Amino acid sequence: MKALYKPAASPGFELTDRPEPEAGPGEVKIRVLRTGICGTDLHIEAWDDWAAGAIDVPLVPGHEFCGEVVAVGPGVRDVTEGDLVSGEGHVVCGTCRNCRAGRRHLCIRTSSIGVNRDGAFAEYVVLPESNVWVHHTPVDPDLGAIFDPFGNAVHTALSFPLVGEDVLITGAGPIGLMAAQVCRHVGARFVVITDVSPYRLELARSMGVDLALDVSSETVADAQHRLGMVEGFDVALEMSGHPSALPDVIDNLNHGGRIAMLGLPSTPIEIDWARVVTHMITIKGIYGREMYETWYAMSAMLRSGLDISGVITHRFPATEWAEGFATARGGRCGKVVLDWTEVG
């Protein structure tokens, strides 16, 4: 099969022939139709310090995908050939305390598809049945390919009650944009998103936020004034990882405010912990998706009218993967999708 492959610890990928995987006991073989390009994939392609410390090569990367089941191994019960599926990218051990308690997203031995094991930038990928999400209602394959980051957005956004609340989202990347639409869909009052990219702020406006704020020229306090707010934001979703974002969020929360934090800081962040204590602020770290409550919520919201398709701004054949990666890295985009149907 054709696959994007990193043969050695150096920058770049190769689109080359690799052995086609086969489904073993309890596993499902999937013909990949579409893949999404994630920030993690950009790190792996560039072979930066994070990738050098986290990735073992050789590797087929890629963890955001949609495809069609073409074979199932012995013992597979609920997935059948012909199913249109996406995949949960975190393969868990099943035996640690959290797994046994049903908190699989907190597994201490998580192995990530396309990071710790071969992934979906290929014509075929094999997953455990427990990681396969079957789309029982029609889903565009482009949309099915971004269920993984959509799940990050849903997990973050639904961490706290949102009905009637004022929500601040820092970072208008694809996950922040999808989270904004989730907040609106479930009943938030004001949804404000911040960034410094004019392209992404304009994309946020087109997707229905109340205010898209350029924090290089305006402050979050300005946003409160423009919206007529008097007590600060109730819920904040920190998606950017920028070292200035979290302190700014804390300064603009109401007493008892809640923060769901998905962005990964690259440097230490200095926090006014006295304010956190005296204002009784909750900070919750978010990683991945809740297995599988988040997936049920995603599918249910799409069926009830949530439309996140606007976040997909660019599509490329998989043979043009380098242009797709350059587009994703350049930042003038939402989500970038690769089409694997004619790569052979």
Catalytic residues: 40, 43
Any long-range contacts for 338-341 (C-beta under 8 Å, 24+ apart)? Answer: 338/34, 338/35, 338/36, 338/37, 338/121, 339/33, 339/34, 339/315, 340/32, 340/33, 340/34, 340/35, 340/122, 340/123, 341/33
In Å, how far from its chain's centre is CA 262?
9
Burial class (CB in 10 A: 0-12, 13-18, 19+), 254: middle
Closest C-alpha among 8, 52, 32 to residue 121: 32
Is residue 101 within 8 A of residue 57, CB to CB? The reply is no
| HEC profile of 169-222 | EECCCHHHHHHHHHHHHCCCCCEEEEECCHHHHHHHHHCCCCEEEECCCCCHHH
Q: Identify each DSSP E strand in 242-317 by its residue range.
A: 253-261, 282-285, 312-317
Closest C-alpha among 136, 192, 134 to residue 168: 192
Determine the Cα–Cα distance for residues 151 and 321; give it in Å rounded to an integer.
Answer: 24
